[in-house]
Structure 1
Amino acid sequence: MLSLRAINHYYGSQRSLWNVDLELLPGECTCVTGLPGMGKTTLLNCITGHQPVESGTILWHEAGKAAQDLHGVSVEARMALGIGYVPEDRRIFSRLTVEENLQLAMMAATGQPQAIPADIFDLFPELYGQRLLRGADLAEDDLQQLALARALVTRPRLLILDEPGRGVGPKMMQKLGAAIVRLNRELGLTVLLVEQRLSFIRHVADRFCLLHRGRNVAQGSVAQLDDKLLAHWMTP
C-alpha cells in the first residue's frame, strides 16, 4: 500500500523527522503515537503532500502495477490515487451546508458533480438529518463526523486521520472507534491515524509507530505497545 524509507523533513534549519521508516499494509490500521511536538502531524503531512520531504522515498503500491514514487506529486494527485485525509483542524467550510461540504469534496476528487453515496449517511445517520445545516451550526461531535464523511465520499483506499478524537466527548469517541473498526475490518479500508489515548489505540489499531523527537523509536504489533514502552517514551 505505502512504504516510507528514510524520511527526513526540516522546518527551516530545524530538523523535524529523522530517517523515519514506515510500512502500511493493505487492510491494516496503523497508529502513529508519541508525545505532543514529536513529529506525528508532520509525518502525515509529508505523506499527503502538504509538507515537502527533504530526503527519502514515499512509494505508493497498487496491485499489478509498479510502485509509484510520490516525490513531487501534488496533494490533489495523491487524493486521486486514493489517499483520504482528515486533518486535526477538520477544515470544514463553515458557511456551506453538510451536503455542500460533501459535494465539494466529491467535485475536488472527480472534477464533476455527483450524488452523495447513500452509504455515507448509513455510516453517519445523524448527518442525514443535518444535511441542510451549515458547518457553523454543527456541534463539535457532528463536525468530526462531517470531516470523516467528507474524506470517505472520495472513496479512498488509504484513510489518514490526525487525532480524530480531539475535542469530542466520550460518546463520540465510541462512535469514532466503531466507525474506524467497521471501515477497516469489515470494509477492508487501510487506515493510518495519529492518536495518544492507549485504550483507543488498542481498540482500533493492528500496528503502531512511536515517534520521539522526530525519530521512529519503536514499531510493531499493537500488542507490543506495553506499559514499559509507554513509560519510557511517553512520560513528559
Structure 2
Amino acid sequence: MLSLRAVNQFYGESHILWNLDLELAPGECTCVLGAPGMGKTTLVNCITGYLPVQSGSMTWLEAGHPPQDLLTQPIEGRVALGMSYVAQDRRIFSQLSVEENLQIALLAARVRSRSIPGMIYELFPELYSLRHMRGGELSSDLQQQLALARALVTEPKLLILDEPTFGSGQRFINELSNIIRRLSRDFGLTILLVEQRLSFIRRVADRFCLLHRGRNVAQGNVALLDDKLVSSWIDP
C-alpha cells in the first residue's frame, strides 16, 4: 500500500528523520512507537503532506494501478488516492452536529456519494443515537469516536491515527481496539497507528516500527515487540 525509502526530513538545521524505511502492507495495522520527540508525528506529517520531505521516496502501491509518487501529490491528492488522517487533537467542528460533521467530510473529499455509509453507525452506534447533537457537546471519548468516524466516512484505503488513545478512558480504549481489529481484519483497511500503550499495540497491530532520534531502530512482527526491546529504546 505504501513504501518509504531513505526518507530524510529537517526542521531548519535539525535533522529529524534519518534515512527512514517503512512498508505498509494492505490490510495490516502497523504501529510506529518511540519516546516523545523521536520523530513519530513528523513521520505522519510527511506521509500526509503537511511537511515536505528533504530526500528519499514515498510510493503509493495499489493493486491494478501504476505506482504513484506521493512526493508529487499535495494533501488533497493524497486524500483522493485514499488516505485519511485522524490527528491527536481530533479537529472536529464543535458547532456542527455529529451528522453534519460526517456530511462535511464527504463534501471535502469530493466523493460521489453524499450518503453516510451504513458501516459508520454500525461501528459507532452511540453516535447514531446522538447524531443531532453538536460535536462540542460530546464527551472527549465520543469526540474521538466522531473524529474516527469522520475519517472513515469516505471509505479510505489507508487510515492514519496519531495517538488515538491519548486522554481516553479504558472503556473507549477497549472499544477502539475492537474497532481497529475489525477495520483491518474484516474490512481489509490498511492502518498506520502512532501509539505508546504497549498493551493496546499488542492487541491491534500486526507489525511495528520503533523510532529513536528519527531512526528506525527495530521493526517486524508485533510478536517481536517484547519488554526488553522496548526498555532498551524507550524506558529511562
Normalised TM-score (structure 1):
0.97
Cα distance in 1 for partners of 2:221, 2:33 equals 13
The answer for the alignment partner of 2:116 in structure 1 is 116
SS at match of 2:71: coil
Match in the other structure for 2:83: 83
Q: Write the distance in 1 (CA, Å) between the matches of 2:235 and 2:179.
A: 30
CA contact (8 A) 2:111 2:154 kept: no
**Who is 1:142 aligned against?**
142
Q: Distance in 1 between matches of 2:112 and 2:26?
A: 29
Q: CA deviation at 1:72?
A: 2.6
Q: Tell me by how many angstroms 1:65 deviates.
A: 2.2
Question: Post-superposition, which runs of at least 4 consecutive aligned residues in structure 1 deviate over 2 A?
Answer: none
Q: Could you tell me which residue of structure 2 aligns to residue 71 of structure 1? A: 71
Deviation digits for residues 112-143 of structure 1 (CA, Å, limit 9, x no counterpart)? 67121222101000001111111110100000
Aligned sequence identity (%):
64
1:74-130, CA deviations, whole angstroms, 9 ceiling, x for partnerless residues? 111101101111111111111111111111101111266712122210100000111
SS at match of 1:71: helix
Give 1:64 deviation, angstroms: 2.1
Which residue is equivalent to 2:62? Answer: 62
The 8 Å contact of residues 107 and 113 in structure 1, kept in 2 or not, is answered as no
2:3 match: 3
> What CA distance in whole angstroms lies between the structure 2 residues aligned with 1:129 and 1:227?
41
Give, as a single letter, the amino acid of the residue that structure 2 aligns with 1:53: V
Partner of 2:169: 169
Question: 1:70 Cα deviation (Å)?
Answer: 0.7
**Aligned AA for 1:72?**
T
C-alpha contact 1:163 1:194 (8 A) present in aligned 2: yes
Q: Determine the structure 2 residue equivalent to 1:223.
A: 223
| CA apart distance, 1:23 | 0.4
Corresponding residue number in structure 1 for 2:107: 107
Pair 1:191 & 2:195 matched? no
Deviation at 1:232, TM superposition (A): 0.5
Q: Deviations over 1:35-77 (max 9, x none)?
A: 1111101101111111111111000011122211111311111
Q: Give the letter for the 1:7 counterpart.
A: V
Letter in 2 for 1:153: V
The total of aligned residue pairs comes to 236
What one-letter code is carried by the residue in structure 2 that aligns with 1:168? S
Any unmatched runs of 5+ in structure 1? none
Distance in structure 2 (CA, Å) of the matches to 1:26 and 1:96 = 34
CA contact (8 A) 1:103 1:113 kept: no
SS of the residue corresponding to residue 177 of structure 1 reads helix
1:178 and 2:178 are equivalent in the alignment: yes
What residue identity is the alignment partner of 2:10?
Y
In structure 1, C-alpha distance between the alignment counterparts of 2:54 and 2:124, rounded to whole Å: 39
Structure 2 counterpart of 1:38: 38
* Counterpart position of 1:49: 49
